[in-house]
Amino acid sequence: MAHKTLNIKGNLVSLDIPLVMGILNVTPDSFYSASRKQTEAAVEERVQAILEEDGAIVDLGGYSSRPDAAEVSPEEEMKRLAFALDIINRQFPGTAVSVDTFRAETARRCVEDYGAAIVNDISGGEIDPAMFDTVAPLHVPYILMHMRGTPQTMPQHTDYTDMMDEIMLYLAEKVRRLHLLGVNDVILDPGFGFSKTTDQNYELMSRLNEFALFDLPLLAGISRKSMIYRFLGGSPAESLNGTAVLNTFALLNGADILRVHDVKEAVEAVKIVKKLTVSLPTTSNSQRLLTPNS
């Protein structure tokens, strides 16, 4: 099996050491209140923290995907994203930003006008049918996530005959379409917490290694999600330990990217898991992304 790589901002990045993606939400209503950053100082502080803690990617969202989140107009979403992207480009040039949006035009503008490096689409091209045709000529990695319905309706779409079989078929069909359009870098996201019950989320995690069949980069996004605090009790704020456990399990079962609120802890999990098998090189994740090709 070939080594997995991603072309990020013109750099061929190896995934032999999993990457950590730090979450930055410029929203007033994301489910974890500590992740909401709406002032210039707060955005700058958050990005600096992600990079200093060795996060490789900043995942920027302007539309909360929690089930009871309010609808956000395309104009308002773009305004929020542009606000943060301007700050990042000015204060942290060269940072790899993943833009979290299911709208094709928003994705295009963020990449072409503001230099976003990755498109992260929670809907797998379902909400905006123009997404695949739009992202193909942008030549950036595309995160393909499994979800049914919309963020508002997904809790009503958990009735699977065979959940794993349906997720695999869903992803396989979309990967084929993306490859035919010329999208070379497709990252798979099984969609923890999206149109899945707590028990279904744990079944999905327990079978995460089955996604190796695709031989594509695999992202795990379980940070402080309800599958932790509904099972253990508590709240998102009390779910760091559960997150660390699940991140470690995900790494041991094929995850190449961790999308997290708590970058330092995730980076430590990557280092410990890697130490169990091979000595870590000295180059950090963020250094790998900011070093141009020779």
Annotated catalytic residues are 225, 259
Q: Residue 188 in contact with residue 167, Cβ under 8 Å? A: no
Closest CA to 243 of 195, 193, 196, 197: 193
Distance between start and end Cα atoms, the chain: 26
Q: How far apart are CA 294 and CA 278, in angstroms?
A: 26
Q: How far apart are CA 142 and CA 186, in angstroms?
A: 5
What is the number of other CB atoms lying within 10 angstroms of the CB of residue 181?
14
209 contacts: CB under 8 Å, gap ≥ 6: 253, 254
Closest CA to 44 of 106, 107, 94, 89: 89
CA angle 211, 213, 214 (to 5 degrees): 80
User: Beta-strand (E) ranges in the chain?
Assistant: 5-8, 11-14, 19-25, 57-61, 97-100, 118-121, 142-145, 186-189, 219-220, 257-260
- Please give the distance of CA 189 from its chain centroid, rounded to a whole number: 7
Q: How far apart are CA 141 and CA 185, in angstroms?
A: 5
What is the number of other CB atoms lying within 10 angstroms of the CB of residue 222?
25
Cα–Cα distances in Å, from 173 out to 160, 177, 188?
18, 6, 12
